[in-house]
Amino acid sequence: MNNYFQFKQFTIYQDQTAMKVGTDGVLLGAWADLSEANTILDIGTGTGLIALMAAQRNPGAAIDAVEINPAAYRQATENIAQSPWPERIKVYPDSIFCYHPDKRYDHIVCNPPFFIQSTPAPDTARNMARHCENFTHNALIEAVLRLLSPTGKFSVILPADEAFSFIGKTRETDLCLKRQTQIYPNPGKKIKRLLMEFVEYPCIPETTTLTLEISRHNYTEEYIRLTREFYLHM
């Protein structure tokens, strides 16, 4: 695997991080409705991918990102410093649960740890990034409610089973599911991921679907349309 991933407007170096650039992060970064956000928070930024996508998509937004893993924090900081937008993105070496800024955010994005009940990966750093042992959905919801502005939006991507559980947990809080997109890997397959947008006011959910491929590496027009501003060969 290359130690970097080249996008159209920035480069992600990933040799120091456990989790590499993946479809989930690109989907969330391209799908989240950032158009009206003046302030954006990326929870668990990893390589800095979603923060950089947010900077590309919304040229007026100030973006903060938090990352608890020291190696990932350093890598994200380097990726952002070499990007076209270093003055607009700040990375903090914190757990989101210890992060207490003097403001609330118009949009919060998170590609969180997942696979709560799967077999842990042998590598400790990768395990920390992929599993919810120290990062529960309830704790994430509490952090979002603390940091989101009253009219703000929270966007997140999860595997389908975990997403349904996550939605159930939000029903016990002030978060309302406003928009969701069901992600299918290809026709005939089950839902693989859910992209979800939550707000803190009453809303009626809107549901759409997105299929990624017609066949191996033969991408659907809707996926190309969503990601073409980022991928080099879309």
Is the pLDDT reported for residue 115 higher than 60? no
Is the pLDDT reported for residue 34 higher than 90? yes
Q: Write the DSSP string, 62-131.
A: EEEEE--SHHHHHHHHHHHHTSS-TTTEEEE-S-GGG---SS-EEEEEE-----TTSPPPSSHHHHHHH-
Domain assignment present for residue 233? The answer is: no
Domain assignment present for residue 48? The answer is: yes
**More confident call, 112 vs 173:** 173
| Whether 44 contacts 119, CB under 8 Å | no
pLDDT band at 1 (very low <50, low <70, confident <90, very high): low
pLDDT of the residue at 17:
84
Domain assignment present for residue 234? The answer is: no
Domain assignment present for residue 147? The answer is: yes
First-residue to last-residue Cα distance in the chain: 20
At residue 32, φ and ψ (nearest 5 deg) are -55, 135
**More confident call, 8 vs 134:** 8
pLDDT of the residue at 119:
45
pLDDT band at 171 (very low <50, low <70, confident <90, very high): very high
**Domain encompassing residue 219:** 4-227
Strand partners, 208: 181
Average pLDDT over residues 27-34: 98
**More confident call, 129 vs 143:** 143
Q: pLDDT tens across 180-212, in order?
A: 999 999 998 999 999 999 999 999 999 999 999
**More confident call, 226 vs 20:** 226
Q: pLDDT tens across 132-151, in order?
A: 446 789 999 999 999 999 99
Domain assignment present for residue 126? The answer is: yes
Domain assignment present for residue 232? The answer is: no
Q: pLDDT tens across 39-61, in order?
A: 999 999 999 999 999 999 999 99
pLDDT band at 117 (very low <50, low <70, confident <90, very high): very low
Domain assignment present for residue 199? The answer is: yes
Q: Of 116, 126, 19, whose CA–CA distance to 5 is shortest?
A: 19
Average pLDDT over residues 74-98: 96
CATH code: domain of residue 142: 3.40.50.150
Average pLDDT over residues 116-131: 47
Domain assignment present for residue 64? The answer is: yes
Structural domain count, the chain: 1
Percent of the chain surpassing pLDDT 90? 82
